[in-house]
Amino acid sequence: MRVIVCGAGQVGYNIARHLAMESNDVTVVDQDPNLIRRISDTLDVQGLVGHAAHPDVLEQAGAGDADMIIAVTYADEVNMVACQVAHSLFETPTKIARIRNQSYLQANWSNLFTRDNMPIDVIISPEIEVARSVTRRLQVPGAFEMIPLVDDKVRLVGVRCEEACPLVNTPLRQLTQLFPDLNIVIIGLIRGDTPMVPGADDQMLPGDEVFFVVETGQLSRAMTAFGHEEREARRLLVFGGGNIGLFLAQDLEETHPMVKVKVIEINTARAETIASQLARTVVINGDVLDPEILEEANVAQTETVIAVTNDDETNILASLLAKRYGCQRAVTLINKGTYQSLVGPLGIDVVVNPRDITVSTIMQHVRRGRIHSVHSLREGFGELIEAEALETSGLVGTPLKDVKLPPGVLLGAIVRDGEVISPRGSTVVQTKDRVVLFSTLASIRKVEKIFSVQLEYF
C-alpha cells in the first residue's frame, strides 16, 4: 500500500513508523528539513521537504499512485487543503485528516466535509478522542486501560498487579483451573519498561502491568481476582478547562448524571465560557497548583482527579498534590513519552497519552481485510485487533491447537451469535465469528493476510 503522511511531528512520525514496519511504501512530507532528516535517517520511508498542501509537492510525493493520504500537520487548514488537492487533482481514494479547531466540527456545519464540498473520509479530533478515552477508564476503577470490543460484549482491561494481588506468582496455565467459569485471557505483560507476550508457564509478578481480555459481564469478577474492588467514582475534579476538560465534563453530564464534577481553569475568560456551556458542573477560576484552590474544590473528598491542562509538568505536579491532600486516584494527561515510565512509582494511577490515542485512532482506518477495529497497546508493543473470520481464513474449521499462528499473536476471545467463547486448544473458529486477538507489530501484516480475501479499506 502506498501512503503519503503529511506532517513529521510526533503523530506523523509514529504513523510512518507503524506503516513502514509493515512494508508499506510511505512518503512523509514536512516543511521542516530537520524533521524530515530525522525521519529519513531512522525509518524506512521517503522524506520530502515541502508544503503538504501544494499540488507540485504532493505530485512529487507520488499522490497520483497513492492509496491513502494521512494529513497530521500542526495546521488544520493545511490538513484540509492537502486532502482536497489529493482528491481533486490526484483522485486519492482514502483521505484522513486531523482537525483540532472545534469550529469546523460543529453540528451546524456538518455538510462541510462531504464529497461535494471538502471530501475527507475520516476526521480525527484528538481532544474528543482523549476525552472519550478518559471516560472509558473511569468506568473501571482500578484499571489504567479499558477498551470495549464487539459491541461491548468483550473488554480489554489493563491493571497493575499489587503485592496483595491473589494471582501473582501463579503460572498462567493454572488460571483456567482456578477460575474455570471465568472467560479471561491474559494477552500482554509489561515488566519494568519491557513488554512481553506471555506463555502458559509465565507468571505475573508484583509491579507488572497486565492486559487481559474478558467477557464484559464477568469484568467485576475479573477485577476482584486481580485484587481490585474499587468503587466507581462519584466525585470528580478536572484540572484544566480546555477542549479536553470541556468535552469530558459535557460527556459526564450526559452519560453519568449522578457524578458530581468540578473543573478548575486558570484563565478567567475561559472559565466563564465553559461555565456557560455546562449545566451541573461547578467551574472554579484558579491555579491547580494553589493549595487554597484545591481546598476550595474539596480535593480531600474527591475520589478521582483528572489532570488535562496543556502542560505536562503542571498535570504531574497537580496530580501528586491532589493525592497528597487525600484524593484517591489520579488520571494524568502526559504528552512526553519520557515521563511515562517515571510517574507510576510517584503515585499517578493512570497515564493518558494523546499521541498514542491519536495514532491508534488513525491506524484503525488503515488496516486491511475484515478488520473492524485496532487499538495500540503501549508504543512499540503491539495492537489489539477485532476482526471477522472469513471462509477463506486459515483460522476457520481447524482446532486452534492445530493452527500455526504467527509468533507474537494470541487469541483473546471469540464472539459467535452474541455468545463469548474463551479460546482453548479444542476451539474451532467458524465463518463470521468475531475474533479478538493481540499481535506484536512484527506480525501485523501476517494477521491482515489471515483476515483478508482481497484489498478492502475500512
Show the DSSP H helices in 344-454 as ranges. 354-363, 444-450
CA distance 357 to 133: 8
- Are 353 and 375 in a shared domain? no
Kindly state whether residue 363 falls inside one of the protein's structural domains. Answer: yes
Q: Name residue 331's beta-bridge partners.
A: 306, 350
pLDDT of res. 160: 86
Kindly state whether residue 227 falls inside one of the protein's structural domains. Answer: no
Asked whether 125 and 358 are in contact (CB, 8 A), the reply is: no
Q: Is 445 exposed, middle or buried (0-12, 13-18, 19+ CB in 10 A)?
A: middle
Q: Is 277 exposed, middle or buried (0-12, 13-18, 19+ CB in 10 A)?
A: exposed
Which portions of the chain are predicted below pLDDT 70?
340-341, 343-345, 367-370, 379-380, 452-458
Per the structure, the count of domains in the chain is 3
pLDDT tens-digit series, residues 104-119: 877 777 777 777 787 8
CA distance 28 to 50: 10
- Are 245 and 287 in a shared domain? yes
The whole domain housing 107 covers 2-124
Asked whether 197 and 410 are in contact (CB, 8 A), the reply is: yes
In Å, what is the CA distance from 317 to each residue of 352, 384, 420? 15, 32, 42
Kindly state whether residue 257 falls inside one of the protein's structural domains. Answer: yes
* Strands 94-98 and 329-333, sheet pairing: unpaired
Asked whether 109 and 83 are in contact (CB, 8 A), the reply is: no
- Are 338 and 374 in a shared domain? no
Q: Is 65 exposed, middle or buried (0-12, 13-18, 19+ CB in 10 A)?
A: exposed
pLDDT tens-digit series, residues 231-254: 777 888 999 988 899 999 998 888
pTM: 0.78
Q: Name residue 428's beta-bridge partners.
A: 399
CATH number at residue 77: 3.40.50.720
pLDDT of res. 259: 85
Domain end point (choices 357, 384, 408): 357
SS (H, E, C) 173-231: HHHHHHCCCCCEEEEEEEECCEEECCCCCCECCCCCEEEEEEEHHHHHHHHHHCCCCCC
- Are 415 and 342 in a shared domain? no
Kindly state whether residue 207 falls inside one of the protein's structural domains. Answer: no
Kindly state whether residue 384 falls inside one of the protein's structural domains. Answer: yes
CA distance 45 to 62: 13
- Are 245 and 342 in a shared domain? yes
% pLDDT > 90, the chain: 23
Kindly state whether residue 19 falls inside one of the protein's structural domains. Answer: yes
Kindly state whether residue 53 falls inside one of the protein's structural domains. Answer: yes
- Are 301 and 377 in a shared domain? no
